[in-house]
Amino acid sequence: METAVDLFVALARLPTPPGQERAAIDLVSSVLAGFGVASAEDDAGSRIDGDAGNLYARIPGTVPGTPLFFNAHVDTVPPSAAIEPVVRDGYIVNAQPTILGADNKASVAGMVDGIRKVLREGLPHAGIELLITVQEETGLRGAKAFDVGRLEATIGYVYDVDGPPGRMVMRAPSQISMDITFLGKAAHAGIAPEEGRNAIQAAARALAGLEFGRIAAGVTRNVGVVAGGRQRNIVPDRCTVQIELRSLVDADMAGLAQEVIDACNLAAVATGCSVELAQAREYTAYALSDRDPVVVLARQALRAAGCEPVEIETGGGADTHVFNERGLSCLNLSSGMEAIHSQDERIAVADVEALSRITVELIRAASA
């Protein structure tokens, strides 16, 4: 595993759905040790019901400058078949009909290989920290469980957005998850339907009164799960609904949530049901400026690595949210991955190699 591509292929072969990252964490730790970098695993696994914690390594600087931290995650969405990476027409794909795992193992490989090059070539650096997180795909749980007080660097980079290398996420949204339960009354659907209170009907009425999809620029609302009922001839006394809200402007979130609450309460009253609502903030929106040092360094490094910087907004979440919310300055960079979370997922060999170059150039720029 002497190249970024070699390491990515080795990592991709390992099935690591959230909570089952042990093999990948052990592999990364072994590779780091192979070029003289000691790493330590925290206790996040035991605290968030996983078989592995986050992996952390720190390399003291050799010159003055800006220390940097790098972050990527090793968990993937659950694969539905074996993962057999192969190269076709310059792209790494899975020969089997399921995910590849470029999200986010290609970034892990690029970061590790870039750090290896810096150390082997004796390049001066101002301090490097590497954090490999677990359970990102289920709500950034690994990053949330990590003690960021361990980080000496206050500027960091995550490579966890799709598209060709060079894209910089300048704005990302807040997200609120809502779990809603409508409670009705069971009755025989044919003999005494008037004695029942239909919880599914209540849920349907509430959802019909709400707008979903892209509500406005940078604002989305989605209903992802609806479940209820026991069998065809019973008036359903329970129906659960899962909704998520996202907005690039955090101030919008309260109003988006209140619209859901009002629609659910009205539907419950109209159908004689009751409703229970719970909501949780998953992460908070952030916005970066062209003048922020984390962006200035990235522009310089991307150009040096042969990638043209492009500013973008995203509707997705990443570990970047956690670090920015906790007072650090963190920028999410694109990794080249395509069609993530699908059986068409792929990444160009050249883009995996580019991630290594970008890591080297970020470290070089921070030590100038």
- Catalytically active residues are 75, 136
Q: Where are the beta strands (DSSP E) in 200-251?
A: 213-216, 219-228, 238-247
DSSP line for 315-327 = S---HHHHHHHTT
Contact between residue 350 and residue 90 where contact means Cβ atoms under 8 Å apart = yes
CA distance 108 to 367: 22
Which amino acid appears at position 122 of this protein?
A: G
CA distance 314 to 218: 8
Where b means 16+ CB within 10 Å and e means fewer, 12-41 reads bbbbbebbbbbbbbebbbebbeeeebebeb
CA distance 325 to 220: 21
| CA angle (321 as vertex; 317, 327 as ends), nearest 5 | 175
Q: Alpha carbon of 33 to those of 30, 56, 59, 247: distances in Å? A: 5, 12, 12, 42
SS3 call for 88: strand
CA distance 85 to 93: 6
Of 27, 18, 69, 72, which is closest to residue 45 (Cα–Cα)? 18
CA distance 243 to 330: 28
